[in-house]
Amino acid sequence: MGVQLEDRTTIDMFREAQKGRPRSNPYPREVQIRVNKRMQRMRDKHKGMRRMEVKMPRELVEQLDEYAKQQECTRTEVVELCITEWFEMMSKELSQDV
């Protein structure tokens, strides 16, 4: 029977007991990171979030980071707010043109 690092039922089956304070997480750090990323993607998916990659000039990203820091929010929140406001502005322009 093969043992996977992420297998929770057989993780201690083939390992000798260790002396000292028990670890809070039985997995190595690289596996913890992989599991945490997977769980974060699942949480985002359940919230209706979609992943998107964008390439922007370094200067613009630096401005974005600075603004996010001033507003005490994340870069994602700033981008989401900007895009939402842009769509609202465009829909107002379209309704005025009609």
Q: Which CATH number fits domain 54-98: 3.90.320, 1.20.1740, 1.10.1220, 3.30.1060?
A: 1.10.1220
Strand extents, DSSP E, 24-80: none
pTM more than 0.85 = no
Question: Is the Cβ–Cβ distance between 74 and 68 less than 8 Å?
Answer: yes
- The whole-number pLDDT of residue 11 equals 57
Question: Is the Cβ–Cβ distance between 1 and 10 less than 8 Å?
Answer: yes
Own/partner long-range contacts of 66-75 (Cβ < 8 Å, ≥24 apart): none
- The whole-number pLDDT of residue 10 equals 59
Amino acid at 63: Q
Domain boundaries, the chain: 23-52, 54-98
Is residue 1's pLDDT more than 60?
A: no
33: tokens are 């990171």
Using a pLDDT cut of 90, give the percent of the chain over it: 59
